[in-house]
Structure 1
């Protein structure tokens, strides 16, 4: 099925080219692992090699497992896929829109913004994700990848089952599929050796760092466990629920997002996939039901390039009419000139700590200046994209306590609506080539011309 020697060569080249410490691969047919390889170092300092039995943090691949648990809870009558899931501040969204449903949250169509927050040993405490649960749009208005939605689902699953998230998933998903080496948690509690996690420039992440939304990204697994999961997960579900998983509204020309899975469209067999990435993690699980094929590729590096090279090699060899767009949740979005007139806008960024006044000057079709009240203006490049008429990344600190922890940059994404500019202002850190991966905190933003 797979040329093992050719795969080993691709792995060695990818690790060397991208400075990635290790990769672990498993390919399964009809749920049985038929190929396992591991290359590189699970721990570079100790010179401990990766093996097929090494457990890796898998980041957002966790969402596919959590989603399977939510669907099983629906089959058990513990919740309904079309039940509303209110946030901590009540049921209503913008303009009185209803709370998103389980189905909408599983599809990342609940109206919530992107959100990532970490806490490292010896550093600032973990930011409470419930502070950022205010929706930015009405449910089903658009696809927006939202860890907050899975955080809300994790809480619902715990309330409806009366069990902790990891316990429920272990009982209903992991044990039935023989995933003995898969666990949820900040630190790995199992018996398998684990892969250390490394920054883009090769520094080790501290063990046991925390993620604010564990239902969205706190799983650890071996490649073999995930390959078995990819094939076996649909068989755990009632037929109608399994069919609902595959109902995936389009997010690009080549894929849609169903209930916890990215699903390809177009010619060739359908490819179901989910990737994962965070500090020191780049992973992928793939299933091709028509071919009874599934596989997992796990790396312990923030940069995804080595993972992608190995995944593309395997899928090109194994899946007819495969191309990378069949597993990519975002289509290319080249920059375009800003189609807004030169002028000044004033408004606010709405944060959990209160409104922060902001001033935006559109200088040219490709330059802006941004300032907060009392601060110096900062100039930056700007562009338009497919979904926003103005996008800009500015070296400007949002003056909130949460953002000051480790989110020194500001990303603006704005559209015109009713004579105003409306959208979002995200505080973030630009990767982990210095320091560690920072938080990504999204806030509503609104400006008027002055």
Structure 2
């Protein structure tokens, strides 16, 4: 454990932190957690708890490096803004490329580029067997609704490399990490630095092998908690004032939260709270900045389960900023609503890369649906609705495609009424990693017409 700096009495929430962290690790089976606080431009607190490597009983320390998962998006967005400030790209110029509708960098940073949700995680030899381009199909015109999408940040990574003429890792290291004094920060499928690294673990404590994705700009960052906290505090200093302000110009995603440039933004009584979380196999991370208080925090863990991370964050924020919206931890932009779609039967196809897959949905009168997918026996599962979808449900049924068979054994359908039919998407995914390792999240268009 380590304590740095003076003036700890002005930082609320640190009394009792040891007990909160140790309890969270024990209750949620999390191997370790690292916590850091920056005040002004300096790191004033850094402490870690638990085991960075349960297999060897190696303890975690403030110098331990963790995977950042989607906290990486804040670094990528800053790099895009820095390139724009230097005249290397235009945030509002339509991007070239094979897009149905040309998005802008500004739209992509705000997750409004029209791309659907997506991730792929592969273990073993590269390249992986999934062609991400088959799923990188825009589902709406850019500038419309918010949809959190790794596709958009993948496109931003390519834009940066094209505009700067450098590999993304090189640009992030030389133009962000070094000027900001982030000695531990790195970018890659596995940590290429020399510092001690936290072994990523499943929710039930098994170690993950090295993992790679087709969208590294969305989630391949690594750093200590201290460097994440310093990044949150110092990063605005690299930008022109008007660009730094635009980072926190969040378009609404909920009643209280917006999404800016790689930041979730909350404004309460004139004060700002910005954040970004991250989660993937063996990673649950959180970065929070309170610019009006000159304070930032980072909480990093090496478990897929976010519960320990969330318990520590809630303790700290209850003391530092009681107005903190828990939606920062898991923003939900499509809240649930009453299921009002009338019972009926619809049939059609799921548009997969290999061709159409037959599907029939029977909405019953007891808030359940009967799903008939390809040649699988029919299954009956609960149904729900949301602001965006008139009916949605999940079934433990295998989508019969080569990509889904790799490691995505469940299917979820989300459909809205379209005339007398239903239109939406079918998602092949894996619900957690209690069995095996986390798999890809694959979105397919789906269109159904009245059956019979």
TM-score (norm 2): 0.94
**Which residues in structure 2 correspond to 1:90-239 (within 5 Å)?**
90-92=98-100, 98-121=101-124, 125-206=128-209, 208-239=210-241
Q: Which residue of 1 aligns with 2:298?
A: 296
1:72 aligns with 2:82: yes
- Taking the TM superposition and a 5 Å limit, the aligned residue runs for 1:7-18 are 7-18=17-28
Q: Does the 8 Å contact 2:410/2:429 carry over to 1?
A: yes
8 Å contact 2:310–2:329 — kept in the other structure?
A: no
- Give yes or no for contact 1:147–1:213 (8 Å, CA) kept in 2: yes
Q: Which residue of 1 aligns with 2:55?
A: 45
Q: CA RMSD in A?
A: 1.7
Which residue of structure 2 aligns with residue 374 of structure 1?
Answer: 375
Question: Any residues of structure 2 matched to 1:316-355 within 5 Å, and which?
Answer: 316-319=318-321, 321-325=323-327, 328-330=330-332, 333-334=335-336, 336=338, 338-355=339-356
Shift of the alpha carbon at 1:347?
Answer: 1.4
CA offsets 1:277-329 (integer angstroms, 9 cap, x no match): 00010000111111110111000000101101111111121225334245542
Which residue pairs with 1:405 in the alignment? 406
Contact 1:421 1:447 in 2 (8 A): yes
Q: What do residues 161-186 of structure 1 show as CA deviations (whole Å, max 9, x unaligned)?
A: 11111111111111110111110111
**Residue correspondence of structure 1 range 249-288 to structure 2 within 5 A:** 249-267=251-269, 269-288=271-290
How many Å apart are 1:123 and its aligned residue?
9.9
Q: CA deviation at 1:369?
A: 1.4
Pairwise CA distance, 1:191: 1.5
- Residue 26 in structure 1 maps to residue 39 in structure 2: no
Structure 1 residues 382 and 86, CA gap change in structure 2 (3 angstroms):
farther
- 1:447 is displaced (CA, Å) by 0.8
Correspondence for 2:385 = 384
Q: What's the offset of the Cα at 1:188? A: 0.7
CA distance in 1, matches of 2:446, 2:13: 52
**What is the SS of the residue equivalent to 1:109?**
coil
Q: Is the Cα–Cα contact under 8 Å of residues 205 and 436 in structure 1 kept in the other structure? A: yes
How far apart are residue 335 of structure 1 and its match? 5.9
- Find the residue that maps to 1:176 and give its secondary structure: helix
Secondary structure of 1:198's aligned partner: coil
Instruction: Measure the CA separation in 2 of the matches of 1:225 and 1:212.
Output: 25
Counterpart in the other structure of 1:360: 361
Number of residues paired by the alignment?
441
Distance 2:56 2:89 in 1: 47
Partner of 1:430: 431
Farther-moved stretch of structure 1 (375-384 vs 308-317): 375-384
Structure 2 unmatched runs, 5+:
1-10
Compared CA separation, residues 327 and 256, structure 1 to 2 (3 A): farther
Asked if structure 2 preserves the Cα contact closer than 8 Å seen for 1:267 and 1:321, the reply is no
Q: CA deviation at 1:104?
A: 0.8
Aligned mates of 1:229, 1:138 — CA distance in 2:
33
3-state DSSP of counterpart to 2:376: coil
1:430 positional shift: 1.1
1:323/1:125 Cα in 2 relative to 1: closer, same or farther (>3 Å)? closer
Checking the alignment, whether the CA contact within 8 Å between 2:13 and 2:316 is kept in structure 1 is: no
Contact 1:409 1:427 in 2 (8 A): yes
Partners of 2:295 and 2:129 in 1: how far apart? 39
Q: Give how far 1:148 is off.
A: 0.5
Aligned-partner SS, 1:131 = helix
Moved more, 130-139 or 302-311: 130-139
- The 8 Å contact of residues 59 and 217 in structure 1, kept in 2 or not, is answered as yes
